[in-house]
Each structure stands twice: as structure tokens, then as C-alpha cells.
């Protein structure tokens, strides 16, 4: 029987208290409560289309703003992903996907290289979607890539509606991750012999 690829994190600061549990080989089930409805929607979408099982709860200083909640949830989720991948032996490692949502189209490309590098261009025009500042959606992708130790490129290629643009980006990321975390063998997928 294979060891489940899963991890849990508790992250507590003066600004937030985050509990996160992630299972890579899941069915897309999620239970997410950050106090930010649109953010919950995006994280649940990420779980569904990556087929990860995700439980994430956060109590944050939303009386200040949404920044600390968005950042700390992204860090906890990225740390869980990194831990669940272990030594990354047998991984496909690379994943890419396009995801449309009506008029919007996003592309995500992932390399689970162990070397964090985010390049994110969402092109969002509104200041907020729901109670989430759009700059914090970009911040999610950046923080998630750094904590998850991956190279991540996310580009929204077209779209007029910012909700659609953001959601297509999360869906593209989910599909790229589903491909990248697939197990194809027993070797570490690197010429260096280590990731």
C-alpha cells in the first residue's frame, strides 16, 4: 500500500490563525473558510480541478484588511504541497494548462523544481472582487509558488470580466498542478538527481 501524499500545517501569527490539510491524491473535496467569500470560492475551485482534497480554515484580522489572510493561507497551502511532494521522486514534475471561463482565458505552467519563481500577470482592473483586493489574488499565486518551491507562470490572456479572469487563472493552475503531481515512475526527475 502506498503512503498517502498528504500534509497538514498550523500557522499562527498575531495577524492570523490558519489550519490547512492537503491530500494530493484526492477527489477534489474541500472545506474552506477564510472569512472571504470570493477567496473561499477560488480555493475550492483550485481543490476541485486539481483533484486535491483540501481543508483550510483561517481566522484573520479582516478588520484591518484581507492581505494577511490571503498571504498566510497561500503560505500554509504551499507548505503543505511542498511537504506532501516529499523528495518529489517519480513526479511528472511539469504541468501546463489553459482554462477558459466564458470570454476569459488563462494559461498556467508549473515546474515542481524545488526552486521558487513566480511570474504572474492577471491583468485585473477592478480594485476588489467581493471583499478581496485584486492585488492579493496576485499575491496568492506569488506566495503559493514560493512556499511550494515551484516555478509558476500564470497569465490571463483575455477576458473582460475580472471574476472570470481570476477564476480562469485558478482553474488553469489547478489543471497544471494535477498534471505536474502525477506519478510516472521512481526516479527523481532531474539531471542533478535532486529537486
Q: Cα–Cα distance between 7 and 66 in angstroms, integer?
A: 25
Q: Is residue 164 one of the residues assigned to a domain?
A: yes
Asked whether residue 67 is assigned to any structural domain, the reply reads: yes
CATH of the domain at 89: 3.30.230.40
Residue 194 lies in a domain: no
Asked if the structure places residue 116 within a domain, the reply is: yes
Average pLDDT, the chain: 96
Q: Is the pLDDT of residue 1 over 60?
A: no
User: Does a structural domain hold residue 192?
Assistant: no
pLDDT at 3: 78
Q: Residue 146 falls within a domain, yes or no?
A: yes
Q: Mean pLDDT over residues 159-175, rounded?
A: 98
What's this model's pTM, rounded to 2 decimal places?
A: 0.96
Q: How far apart are CA 138 and CA 130, in angstroms?
A: 15
pLDDT at position 193: 78
Q: Is the pLDDT reported for residue 139 higher than 60?
A: yes
By residue range, what is the domain housing residue 54? Answer: 6-180
Is 193 a member of any domain? no
Q: Tens digits of per-residue pLDDT, 69-111?
A: 999 999 999 999 999 999 999 999 999 999 999 999 999 999 9
**33: in domain:** yes
Lowest mean pLDDT among 8-17, 144-153, 181-190: 181-190
What's the average model confidence in pLDDT over 30-45?
98
Q: What is the number of domains present in the chain?
A: 1
Amino acid at each position: 500500500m502506498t503512503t498517502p501524499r498528504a500534509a497538514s500545517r498550523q500557522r499562527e501569527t498575531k495577524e492570523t490563525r490558519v489550519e490547512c490539510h492537503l491530500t494530493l491524491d484526492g477527489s477534489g473535496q474541500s472545506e474552506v473558510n477564510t472569512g472571504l467569500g470570493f477567496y473561499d470560492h477560488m480555493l475550492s475551485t483550485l481543490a476541485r480541478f486539481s483533484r486535491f482534497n483540501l481543508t483550510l480554515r483561517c481566522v484573520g484580522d479582516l478588520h484591518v484588511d484581507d492581505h494577511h489572510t490571503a498571504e498566510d493561507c497561500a503560505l500554509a497551502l504551499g507548505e503543505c504541497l511542498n511537504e506532501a511532494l516529499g523528495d518529489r521522486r517519480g513526479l511528472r514534475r511539469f504541468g501546463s494548462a489553459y482554462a477558459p471561463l466564458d470570454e476569459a482565458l488563462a494559461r498556467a505552467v508549473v515546474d515542481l523544481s524545488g526552486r521558487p519563481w513566480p511570474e504572474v500577470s492577471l491583468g485585473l482592473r477592478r480594485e476588489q472582487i467581493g471583499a478581496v483586493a485584486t492585488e492579493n489574488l496576485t499575491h496568492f499565486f506569488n506566495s503559493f509558488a514560493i512556499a511550494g518551491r515551484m516555478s509558476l507562470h500564470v497569465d490571463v490572456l483575455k477576458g473582460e470580466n475580472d471574476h472570470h479572469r481570476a477564476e480562469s487563472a485558478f482553474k488553469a493552475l489547478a489543471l497544471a498542478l494535477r498534471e505536474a503531481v502525477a506519478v510516472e515512475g521512481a526516479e527523481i526527475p532531474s539531471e542533478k538527481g535532486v529537486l
